[in-house]
Amino acid sequence: MIIMGITLIQCPYRLALFSLVIVSAICFFQLTTKLPPDEPIEGTAQIRLSSVKPYHTAFRKGSIIQGTLVSFVPRNSSKPIAQNIPFSLKTGPSCPKANCDYIIRATLRHRNYLFPKKGVPWQSVPNTWSLAEWRFQNKQALRHFIDKQMAHPKAASFLSGMATGLFDDNTLYSELSRFGLQHIMAISGFHFALVALILSFGLNCFLPEKKASIALVALMTLYFIFLGASPSILRAWIMATVYFLGKILEKQSKALNSLGAALIVVLVIDPLTLTTIGFQFSFLVTSSILLFTAPIESSLRIVLKKRPLSELIHMNLINQHGYLAVNALRQILALTLSVQIVVIPLALYWFQKFPVMSLLYNTFFPFLASLSLVLLLIGLGAPFAGFIHTINSYFTDWMLNLAYRLPMSLDIWIRVQEIPLSLLVVYLCGLFAGGIYIKIIYSEAQRERSELAYL
């Protein structure tokens, strides 16, 4: 509900109140679903599949299947003890096709983990379907294509993981985790926005603005279907769609309102998503960026001053480039600080530790990763694709080596025993309440300055 309150800044009170009532009502009815007990219990489950991801270790290969536990009926009982909750399970190399619902014999543990009984076949449920198998096969095809284009294995694994979300290189993942960079390996709003930006640039070169926006909404919807409806992807797709629909309808969209709309849709689809790490990081970090980046950047001008254009044009070439570097540094620091004021407490709550080197690496590594992804996207459609993929392979391998197998002395962690949930909630409520107030003051000051500049 924190983000719902943020939408009150620019959203009419009636609309915000109506949205709050609707979401609360749907959450009430959805949360009447039954959650299982903590102790393991055997029974029969009906599962609806949403995604399939490969995994491999030194001793085993298989797939990780995620979806919704439609119902779970214990053995020697006819009443379900669990309904409509997310689950994940691991299967062996011979995984059933994820194109329909299944009835399985399984053991249910710790609320969302299913362990299918070995040797018992899965029974498909008639008249059901799922896009999970279609996504998996197409992602695998794209992954194999990228692997063939890259000369360096690490670069191929990294880029195919960023493009498809099918990342199973545990060594590379653990190396990036040392510096708080594991979020780059997950498909997120960052990747989605980057793809939208590149497609928008290309379409605007050939189509009028409205037609380009219509085509972009269609392409982003197809990309969304290809990736799947995780909380971060769904949020990014809704916000991008609202923005471009505003262009089509010649209406100005507000990022905070778009975020509120995404929140409503995600909670309507699955209220239990609220408790997941992906949901909390995605929505809270995005909210923090929208609320704090501009005020922090304005405050940093005290140290890293912003020069007027009239002063800039009288500088020599070296000073002009130096000023541009300082200007970029100020914006990077503002973005990094706005992210870390939320990421640090969330990381300490979930993992009880936070890598200090993340503060440094997150100032430049995401930018380098975005360049790598841009080169990949350009290479997929350029006539000289082979040359671009070769450059990208060497560039990506060099980038990964900046965080790969570095000395253990760089592993400096902030560690805590445990952060109470109540303390985290109080901190976030206070932080975003202050952010709303700062946003209002900053917006009014910006409006006054623009009016004075006009006069």
pLDDT in tens, 319-358: 878 888 888 888 888 988 999 999 999 999 998 999 999 8
Q: What is the pLDDT of residue 451?
A: 55
Q: What is the pLDDT of residue 3?
A: 46
Q: What is the pLDDT of residue 310?
A: 73
CATH number at residue 73: 2.40.50
Domain endpoint, select from 130, 161, 188: 130
Q: What is the pLDDT of residues 158-214, one digit of tens each?
A: 888 888 877 777 788 888 888 888 777 766 667 777 788 888 888 888 888 888 888
Task: Please check whether residues 331 and 198 belong to one and the same domain.
Answer: yes
User: Is residue 24 one of the residues assigned to a domain?
Assistant: no
User: Is residue 254 one of the residues assigned to a domain?
Assistant: yes
Q: What is the pLDDT of residues 78-136, one digit of tens each?
A: 787 777 778 888 887 777 888 899 999 988 876 557 788 888 889 999 989 888 889 88
Q: What is the pLDDT of residue 10?
A: 45
Confidence of residue 52 (pLDDT cuts 50, 70, 90): confident
Q: What is the pLDDT of residue 450?
A: 62
pLDDT of 368 over the 80 cut: yes
Domain endpoint, select from 130, 160, 188: 130
The range of the structural domain enclosing residue 60 comes to 41-130
Task: Please check whether residues 119 and 147 belong to one and the same domain.
Answer: no
Place of tokens 């298989």: 62
What CA–CA distance (Å, rounded) separates 371 from 325?
A: 18
Q: What is the pLDDT of residue 397?
A: 92
User: Is residue 15 one of the residues assigned to a domain?
Assistant: no
Note the pTM of the prediction, 2 decimals: 0.81
CB 109 within 8 A of CB 135: no
Task: Please check whether residues 55 and 159 belong to one and the same domain.
Answer: no
Q: Which helix (DSSP H) or strand (DSSP E) does residue 42 occupy?
A: strand 41-56
Q: What is the pLDDT of residues 55-74, one digit of tens each?
A: 776 677 788 888 888 888 88
Confidence of residue 13 (pLDDT cuts 50, 70, 90): very low
Task: Please check whether residues 412 and 351 belong to one and the same domain.
Answer: yes
Q: What is the torsion angle, in degrees rounded to the nearest 10, for the CA atoms of residue 63, residue 104, residue 97 and residue 131? A: -90
Task: Please check whether residues 239 and 274 belong to one and the same domain.
Answer: yes
Q: What is the pLDDT of residue 8?
A: 42
Task: Please check whether residues 98 and 197 belong to one and the same domain.
Answer: no
CB 63 within 8 A of CB 54: yes
User: Is residue 33 one of the residues assigned to a domain?
Assistant: no
Q: What is the pLDDT of residue 373?
A: 86
Task: Please check whether residues 162 and 71 belong to one and the same domain.
Answer: no
Task: Please check whether residues 229 and 258 belong to one and the same domain.
Answer: yes
Q: What is the pLDDT of residues 411-434, one digit of tens each?
A: 888 898 888 888 988 999 899 888
394 or 276: which leads in pLDDT: 394
Task: Please check whether residues 435 and 364 belong to one and the same domain.
Answer: yes
3-state SS assignment for residue 116: strand
The Cα angle at residue 49 between residues 44 and 54, in degrees rounded to 5? 110
User: Is residue 26 one of the residues assigned to a domain?
Assistant: no
Task: Please check whether residues 66 and 126 belong to one and the same domain.
Answer: yes
Q: What string of DSSP letters covers 429-446?
A: HHHHHHHHHHHHHHHHHH
pLDDT of 14 over the 50 cut: no
User: Is residue 19 one of the residues assigned to a domain?
Assistant: no
Task: Please check whether residues 97 and 203 belong to one and the same domain.
Answer: no
Task: Please check whether residues 177 and 309 belong to one and the same domain.
Answer: yes
pLDDT of 36 over the 70 cut: no
Domain endpoint, select from 130, 159, 191: 130
Q: How far is CA 49 from each of CA 88, 111, 227, rounded to the nearest angstrom?
A: 9, 17, 14
The number of distinct structural domains making up the chain is 2
pLDDT of 247 over the 90 cut: no
The Cα angle at residue 230 between residues 67 and 72, in degrees rounded to 5? 20
User: Is residue 34 one of the residues assigned to a domain?
Assistant: no
Confidence of residue 246 (pLDDT cuts 50, 70, 90): confident
User: Is residue 135 one of the residues assigned to a domain?
Assistant: no
Q: Which residues of 341-366 are buried (b: 16+ CB within 10 A; e: fewer)?
A: bbbebbbbbeeeebbebbbebbeebb
